[in-house]
Copies of this chain bind each other. A is one copy, B any other.
Amino acid sequence: MRLSSSFLPTLKEDPAEAQIISHRLMLRTGMVRQMSSGIYAWLPLGLRVLDNISRIVREEQNAINAQEVLMPTLQSADLWKRSGRYDAYGPEMLRIVDRHKRDLLYGPTNEEMITDIFGQFIKSYKELPQLLYQIQWKFRDEIRPRFGVMRGREFYMKDGYSFDLNYEDAVVTYHKMMLSYLRTFQRIGVKAIPMLADTGPIGGDLSHEFIILAPTGESGIYFDSDFTEQNWLEMPVDINDKESLAAFFQRMTRFYAATDEKHDQNEWQKVPESRRCEGRGIEVGQIFYFGTKYTEAMNVSVIGPDSDKINPHMGSYGIGVSRLVGAIIESSHDDQGIIWPDAIAPFKAVIINLGLKNQACKDACEALYKMDQEQLLYDDRDERAGVKFADADLIGHPWQIIIGPRGIGNNVVEIKRRETGERMEVSIEQVMHYISSYQR
């Protein structure tokens, strides 16, 4: 994209409304704009990040054979009366009355709707398991929306739901989803650590929150640093083999990790001291087994192997996609601005032309830009170099490709890695290859 003809507006000054760094940086870089309290429009720069995260989430859901659906944002109140949650949910549920005086609501989550859909179509145990997900806008009428997209009212979320014949099968699905989540976050480029979470009145140990390390996080966390050394993408796990999944899960849960609510000093002492990490974290996902709660309440069953009616066992699996954008910035920035992980950066690199009046520089920029117009941002504005460098650091492109009269005479450009500040000289023919094959 050419910056001069793009809708990529940055703000010169810090917006007064933003209390935390991610919110401030998202407004300053023109990623989002608040339209009402806790309701944001995503401008081109922010949408690119949101789309990049969604794509990875989707690919990793599909990789475990979860199937994508898309449910409407508005739901009938009747559906929630069947589960008993319509009255229980409280004022965070946005309740709506349509022109025919029917009660609707803006879905804050979709257990009821997916259970209803499942029940309409799936009639036999032979059709289990089922694993369905969507990425869709949701609404929670927070009493005090704050922290930008981290605690907005209208938010973008991946919510998945599983249906299994019994507890044992549901555990297998849970393990599979755990693997999918670890791989998703690793690909996105963030350290998200699963921590045991409260399962409430249902009990059991099948709920984990995924928490990103960030100094501004809402919870205190304790974890074994070896966890973050694991490579889940290359770990050989057969997702069609429950033993293989169980072995993976056991290996994963060997590492101590707990929020302060669940922290256990005795267990913590068993972690070698050099590996004990304490910090604060932001929740960006949760996976949860809850059994037959909704299938029983909504009277949804399948015919079992002995022709008996069986309420399937369910789990639900969320990733806060819009929240993640903020959380990643909280965990990855410096005084100059955002530092995007490569996989979700809005652009791979920005091209900065230092020789606006130099034809060779201009030609080199154009030639480079044409190599990947979709993934390169070309800062072709008539601005001082200092402004361009500051904006590049602020937006946080993983790479800056700096083209100036001196280097271009030798067929060389300078590249700067945003994360480390490292600078290198590379020939113009090699630069795209270098960037693409760079290993952190």
Measured CB to CB, the residues of A under 8 A from B are 1, 5-7, 9, 30, 33, 35-37, 39-44, 47, 50, 65, 67-76, 79, 91-92, 94, 96, 98-100, 102, 104, 106, 113, 116-117, 120-122, 130, 132, 137, 139, 141, 143, 153-154
Tell me, in angstroms, the Cα distance from A122 to B91 when the chains sit together: 38
User: Which residues of chain B are within 8 angstroms of A74 by Cβ–Cβ distance?
Assistant: 36, 39, 106, 139, 153-154
Minimum Cβ distance to chain B for residue A53 (Å): 13
Among B36, B91, B98, the residue within 8 A (CB) of A104 is: B36
Looking at the assembled complex, report how far the CB atom of A40 sits from the nearest CB atom of chain B, in whole angstroms: 6
Chain B neighbourhood of A68, CB < 8 A: 44, 47
Bound CA span A71–B1, Å: 21
Q: Please determine whether A39 and B121 come into contact, CB atoms closer than 8 angstroms.
A: no
A314 to chain B, nearest CB (A): 15
Q: How many copies does the complex hold?
A: 2
Cα–Cα distance between A44 and B207 once the two chains are bound (Å): 27
A186 vs B42: C-alpha distance in the bound complex, in angstroms?
30
Q: Determine which of B1, B40, B91 lies in contact with A72 in the assembled complex, contact meaning CB atoms within 8 Å.
A: B40
Contact between chains at A67 and B6 (CB < 8 Å): yes
Contact in complex: B137, A76 (CB < 8 Å): no
Assess the B143–A75 pair: CB atoms within 8 A: no
* A117 and B154 contacting across the interface, CB-CB below 8 Å: no
Q: Is there an interface contact between A141 and B98, defined as CB atoms closer than 8 Å?
A: yes
Q: Do B5 and A65 have beta carbons less than 8 Å apart?
A: yes
For the complex of A and B, list the 10 residue pairs with the smallest distance between their C-beta atoms, beginning with the closest: A9-B121, A42-B70, A36-B76, A41-B71, A39-B72, A91-B99, A72-B154, A44-B67, A99-B141, A7-B67
Q: Which of B30, B43, B72, B153 contacts A41 (CB 8 A)?
A: B72
CB nearest to A129 among chain B residues = B5
Q: Which residue of B lies closest to A322 (CB)?
A: B70
The answer to whether A96 touches B94, judged by C-beta atoms less than 8 angstroms apart, is yes
Taking a contact as CB atoms under 8 Å apart, the answer to whether A35 and B72 are in contact is yes
Kindly state the separation between the CA atoms of A357 and B79 in the bound complex, as whole angstroms: 44
Q: Could you tell me the distance between the alpha carbons of A44 and B132 in the complex, rounded to whole angstroms?
A: 9
Residues of chain B within 8 A of A35, CB atoms compared: 71-72, 75-76, 79, 113, 116
Q: Which B residues are CB-close (under 8 A) to A130?
A: 7
Contact B33–A73 (Cβ < 8 Å): no
Interchain CA distance A7-B129 in the complex, whole Å: 10
Chain B residue at minimal CB-CB distance from A142: B99
**Which chain B residue shows the least CB distance to A382?**
B126
Beta-carbon nearest neighbor of A104 in chain B: B36
Measured between beta carbons, the chain B residues less than 8 angstroms from A30 are 121
Q: Which residues of B contact A71 (CB under 8 A)?
A: 35, 41-42
Cα A113 to Cα B35 with chains together (Å):
8
Q: How far is the CB of A260 from chain B (nearest CB, A)?
A: 30
Do A96 and B99 form a contact, CB below 8 Å, given A41-B71, A120-B33?
A: no
Given contacts A35-B72, A36-B74, A44-B69, 6 further A-B contacts (CB under 8 A): A39-B74, A41-B71, A47-B68, A73-B73, A74-B153, A74-B154
Contact B94 A70 (CB under 8 A): no
Interchain Cβ contacts under 8 Å between A and B, 29 examples? A1-B67, A7-B122, A7-B132, A9-B122, A35-B71, A35-B75, A35-B113, A35-B116, A36-B74, A36-B76, A36-B102, A41-B69, A41-B70, A41-B72, A42-B71, A43-B69, A47-B70, A72-B137, A73-B73, A73-B137, A73-B154, A74-B106, A74-B153, A91-B99, A92-B99, A96-B96, A96-B106, A99-B141, A99-B143
